[in-house]
Amino acid sequence: MTRVPTPSIGRRSVIVGASSATLSLVLPYGPGAAATKLTATPRQTAGPFYPIDWSGDIDNDLVVVTGEAATSLGQVVHINGRVLDLDGNLIDDALVEIWQCDANGVYHHPRDERGTRRRDAGFQGRGRTRTDASGRYTFRTIRPVPYPGRTPHIHFAVDVPDRRTLVTQMYVFGEALNERDGILNSIRDPRQRDSVIVRLDQANGVEPGSLACTFDIVVG
Its sign, for the CA torsion 168, 50, 198, 105, is: negative
Query: What is the residue-averaged pLDDT of the chain?
Result: 87
Tell me, yes or no, whether 8 lies in a domain: no
Tell me, yes or no, whether 71 lies in a domain: yes
Mean pLDDT of 135-152: 97
pLDDT in tens, 20-60: 333 434 455 555 444 689 999 999 999 999 999 999 999 99
Cα Rg for the chain, rounded, in angstroms? 17
pLDDT in tens, 91-130: 999 999 999 999 999 999 998 977 667 889 999 999 999 9
Tell me, yes or no, whether 7 lies in a domain: no
Segment among 28-42, 66-80, 135-149, 156-170 with least mean pLDDT? 28-42
CATH number at residue 204: 2.60.130.10
Strand pairing category for 95-99 and 126-130: antiparallel
Give the predicted TM-score (pTM) of the model: 0.84
Q: DSSP state, 185?
A: G
Answer with the residue of higher pLDDT: 109 or 16: 109
Tell me, yes or no, whether 46 lies in a domain: yes
Query: What's the pLDDT score for residue 30?
Result: 53
Q: Rounded to 5, what percent of the chain is helix, strand, coil? A: 10, 25, 65
Answer with the residue of higher pLDDT: 191 or 14: 191
Total domains, the chain: 1
Mean pLDDT of 134-161: 97
Mean pLDDT of 78-101: 98
Query: What's the pLDDT score for residue 12?
Result: 40
Query: What's the pLDDT score for residue 118?
Result: 83
Cα–Cα distances in angstroms (integers) from residue 67 to residues 78, 188, 194, in the given order: 22, 44, 39
Cα–Cα distances in angstroms (integers) from residue 141 to residues 62, 95, 102, in the given order: 5, 17, 10
123: number of Cβ within 10 Å: 26
Residue 4 has pLDDT above 60, yes or no: no
Query: What's the pLDDT score for residue 113?
Result: 76
Provide the residue range defining the domain that includes 56. 13-219
**CA 114 from centroid of its chain's CA atoms:** 26
**Range 108-116, long-range pairs (CB < 8 A, 24+ positions):** 108/49, 108/51, 108/53, 109/48, 109/49, 109/50, 109/51, 109/52, 110/52, 111/48, 111/49, 112/49
Answer with the residue of higher pLDDT: 17 or 179: 179
Query: What's the pLDDT score for residue 46?
Result: 97
